[in-house]
């Protein structure tokens, strides 16, 4: 058949690019069956300990093989559980000297934790009595850890506005060689796409920064990188200048910074993206959010689709009276409308969230196959899909932004849920709340 005919070569090639077809993704049907199991999911068990010791649950992280569930706690502790038996394995009672904010596994044995004590710690599951090493470099609360598996570089961000690169290839007991990679005001969250080709940074002033064609070996200084045309542009000196580090992050009170959002000045001759952009090209966006009357929303949570197709944001209004979960598709290539400004993201789905636990950040996540979203909702979680059948995003992209579909609601907490996580290997979801309870959900037949 000709190129434009149904089932033609071009149609097959396009489907292949989108991950369609058994020959491209043989696990697709397996993922579909696993997604169907979530229809039978129920609260299974809780793994709560006395809140007098560990406090609120700020972050949950499974090991890549799903054998260990780690819990980052408010009161300096890290808890480890066997998620299958719900048995407590160990408590790292003094993992840090302040709140533990985030945990990231580098492989099935080594993991990193970060804290409001401004440090990052590396741990080995085979020897938990002592840290592998402690990393010093940030000057304020460290909130986020990412890991580039290709280069074995650890990437952290904090409320000092810095993104720092750590070379774990040359790690010793005294730490790792490190360098400042990027700096911006009001930094909230930083993420790498699964292929590590982009870095996304969200801010408390409602801006989203995207570094395209990422090169982690090159530090970025003010004015040393090309800036892509964006929907709303911002002064590069404001983006990268030092200043207030913004609100407190996950699990801790998040008050809007009253010093105002980044000033909106026209960039000096911003460069357009033509073909391939230069390495570390910066794009500055104000993502479209429902309720546009509240300009300057705070982007509190930032996650990436496991196949790199989209980004997932939790946004709160600048008056802190509304919250939304929003999905934005990555748009590559030439702009859809050549006369419009270049924008790499398009809002595809959104839903309003319960405005409870005001001032606390709720961390949401994608399922391992990217078909569903688990979102903290009041004293429980909601499982959300792109449509009623939990189709993949590429199979149900709407022309205009559509509501996320509620697949199931699960409630087993007596306090506001702050974080939730899918197991990477089992049909299981974990959630943690403000009073320190961790609950597990899995199918019951």
The CA distances from residue 4 to 12, 94, 243, 405, in Å, are: 11, 63, 55, 33
373 closest CA partner among 393, 401, 356: 393
User: What ranges do the domains of the chain cover?
Assistant: 41-229+280-443
- Its CATH class, for the domain covering 41-229+280-443, is mainly beta
- Three-state DSSP at 431 gives strand
Task: Please write the tens of the pLDDT for every residue from 248-285.
Answer: 344 443 433 333 333 222 222 333 344 455 788 888 98
pLDDT band at 11 (very low <50, low <70, confident <90, very high): low
Which pTM value belongs to this model?
0.80
Task: Please write the tens of the pLDDT for every residue from 14-72.
Answer: 665 655 554 445 555 555 666 667 767 777 666 655 455 788 999 999 999 999 999 99
Share of the chain above pLDDT 70, in %: 71
CA distance linking residue 318 with residue 254, whole number of Å: 11
CA distance linking residue 298 with residue 334, whole number of Å: 29
pLDDT over 70 at 240, yes or no: no
Which has the higher per-residue pLDDT, 355 or 211?
211
Contact indicator for 90, 80 with CB cutoff of 8 Å: yes
Task: Please write the tens of the pLDDT for every residue from 311-335.
Answer: 999 988 777 678 899 999 987 654 4
Q: Report residue 190 as tokens.
A: 């930083």
């Amino acid at each position: 058949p000709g190129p434009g005919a149904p089932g033609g070569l071009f149609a097959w090639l396009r489907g292949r690019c989108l991950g369609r077809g058994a020959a491209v993704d043989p696990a697709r049907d397996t993922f579909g069956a696993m997604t169907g199991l979530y229809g039978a999911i129920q609260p299974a068990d809780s793994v709560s300990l006395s809140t007098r010791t560990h406090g609120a649950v700020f972050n949950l992280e499974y090991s890549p093989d799903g054998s260990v569930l780690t819990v980052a706690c408010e009161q300096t502790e890290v808890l480890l559980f066997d998620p299958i038996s719900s048995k407590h394995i160990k408590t790292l009672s003094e993992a840090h000297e302040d709140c533990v904010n985030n945990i990231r596994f580098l492989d099935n044995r080594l993991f990193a934790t970060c804290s409001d004590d401004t440090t990052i710690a590396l741990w080995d599951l085979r020897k938990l009595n002592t840290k592998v090493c402690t990393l010093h470099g940030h000057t304020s609360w460290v909130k986020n850890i990412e890991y580039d598996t290709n280069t074995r570089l650890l990437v952290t961000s904090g409320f000092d506005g810095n993104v720092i690169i750590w070379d774990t290839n040359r790690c010793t007991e005294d730490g790792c060689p490190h360098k400042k990679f990027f700096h911006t005001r009001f930094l909230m969250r930083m993420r790498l796409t699964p292929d590590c080709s982009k870095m996304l940074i969200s801010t408390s002033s409602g801006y989203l920064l995207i570094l395209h064609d990422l090169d982690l070996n090159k530090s970025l200084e003010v004015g040393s990188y090309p800036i892509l045309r964006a929907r709303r542009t911002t002064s590069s000196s404001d983006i990268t200048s030092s200043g207030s580090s913004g609100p407190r992050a996950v699990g801790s009170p998040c008050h809007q910074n009253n010093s105002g959002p980044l000033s909106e000045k026209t960039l000096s001759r911003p460069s357009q993206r033509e073909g391939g952009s230069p390495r570390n090209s910066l794009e500055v966006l104000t993502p479209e959010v429902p309720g546009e009357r509240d300009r300057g929303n705070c982007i509190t949570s930032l996650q990436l689709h496991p196949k790199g197709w989209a980004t997932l944001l939790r946004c709160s209004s600048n008056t802190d009276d509304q919250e939304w979960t929003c999905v934005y598709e990555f748009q590559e290539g030439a702009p859809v409308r050549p006369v419009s400004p270049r924008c790499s993201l398009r809002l595809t789905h959104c839903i309003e969230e319960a405005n409870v636990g005001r001032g606390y950040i709720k961390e949401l996540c994608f399922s391992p196959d990217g078909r569903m979203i688990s979102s903290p909702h009041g004293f429980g979680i909601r499982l959300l899909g792109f449509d009623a059948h939990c189709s993949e995003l590429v199979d149900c992209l709407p022309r205009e932004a559509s509501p996320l579909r509620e697949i199931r609601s699960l409630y087993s907490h007596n306090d506001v849920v702050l974080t939730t996580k899918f197991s990477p290997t089992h049909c299981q979801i974990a959630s943690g709340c403000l009073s320190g309870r961790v609950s597990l959900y899995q199918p019951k037949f």
